[in-house]
Amino acid sequence: MILEVEHLSKRFGARTAVQDVNLRVEAGEIFGLLGPNGAGKTTAIRMLLGLLRPDSGAARVAGYDCWRRHVEAARNFGAVLESPGLYAALTARENLRQFARLLGGVSRQEQSRLLTEVGLESRADDAVRGFSLGMRQRLAVAQALLGRPRLLVLDEPTNGLDPLGIRDLRELLRRLAHEQGIAIVLSSHLLGEVEGLCDRIAIMSHGFVRTQGSLLELVNGDGYRFELWAGDPVRARRVLEAIPGLEVSDGASPARLELRSDRDV
């Protein structure tokens, strides 16, 4: 398992940003965090990257706790956040060279290979200021791959991209996952951006993961699936189990229940 998230929670004052999130992502899997703006996706991602301390719970990359063993965890992930920091006056090759110096141990041959991997070999010596947003995003992916990570995290990677840019980015992510075995986690507020790309998705709302599974399971599954947060789970379970056609099981924490039904109850 490349990424393990257990009971991850974060509050900002009285506002709950992320509550009791549980996720697992395997090598070669593309996993989508889907939800409206303000659902908690970016906060969750910042905790995965060790940029924000969780109030409770844990996230591990390749077995390393993202906060307590951040250096080891960081060696195993790369990230592309919104508005990636690139030097517009430098060429694509020079940008990679600058970031490679910070990491150390990344050869010029590896840098050239990554430019080819993301489809920028023919523009490697052009200044980034002349790049389209899609080209900049692919260069940011190359930058994130410099350390040969096992996990690639992208926050709203298709924001502002035209259809061609979205297509190119999707094809790149598929290759990285299915040919190189890199685990990929990406966030989006648009179902169409994860449809046909992600192997599994988690739907977030108000800081909670409401449900997760393959898109086929979530959209065309046999019946209905719900997750319930109960103040008194014992009493709630007793009441719910009395409803015909409703199956009740334990959720990811003591206060949560999973509900299934093959019809509208």
Confidence bin at 172 (pLDDT 50/70/90): very high
Residue pair 115/96 in contact by the 8 Å Cβ criterion: yes
Higher-scoring residue by pLDDT: 261, 159: 159
SS3 120: coil
Q: Is the per-residue pLDDT at 150 higher than 60? A: yes
pLDDT at 226: 64
8-state DSSP, 226: E
Residue 241 burial by Cβ neighbours in a 10 Å radius (0-12, 13-18, 19+): exposed
pLDDT at 258: 74
pLDDT at 192: 81
pLDDT at 235: 82
Confidence bin at 25 (pLDDT 50/70/90): very high
CB count within 10 Å of CB 130 equals 10
**Residues of CATH 3.40.50.300 domain(s) within the chain?**
3-218
| Phi, psi of 211, rounded to the nearest 5 degrees | -165, 160
CATH number, domain 3-218, options 1.10.260.40, 3.40.1280.30, 3.40.50.1000, 3.40.50.300: 3.40.50.300
